[in-house]
Amino acid sequence: MTIRADHPLATAHDMSQCADDPNQVAADEIIQACGGDAREAVKALLGANEYLEGRVQALEAAVSFGYVRAGIGRK
């Protein structure tokens, strides 16, 4: 478990880990944007993920069959 850099018990090691990991910074920003409520942050991220999954599905449906058949769209 990593202690947030602004926590009174945070050590220099904890703060350097936080600064080196962009996901830690992003997570802190998302939680802050949700009023400090981690549960609301998770709900917001789930909603964003659902939206993006819908966009991917729409884009996949929009790709022409010939484009995919030629192997360009294959992994």
Given a cut of 70, whether residue 15 has pLDDT beyond it is: no
Residue ranges of domains in the chain: 12-69
Given a cut of 80, whether residue 5 has pLDDT beyond it is: no
Q: How many CB atoms lie within 10 A of CB 50?
A: 10
Q: What would the pLDDT profile of 16-72 be if each residue is shown by its tens digit?
A: 556 679 999 999 999 999 999 999 999 999 999 999 999 999 988 888 666 666 666
Given a cut of 80, whether residue 6 has pLDDT beyond it is: no
Q: Residues near 5 by Cβ (< 8 Å), separated by ≥ 6?
A: 14, 15, 18, 19
Given a cut of 50, whether residue 1 has pLDDT beyond it is: no
Q: How many CA atoms lie within 13 A of 56 on its CB side?
A: 6
Distance, CA of 14 to CA of 21 (rounded, Å): 11
pLDDT of residue 11: 56
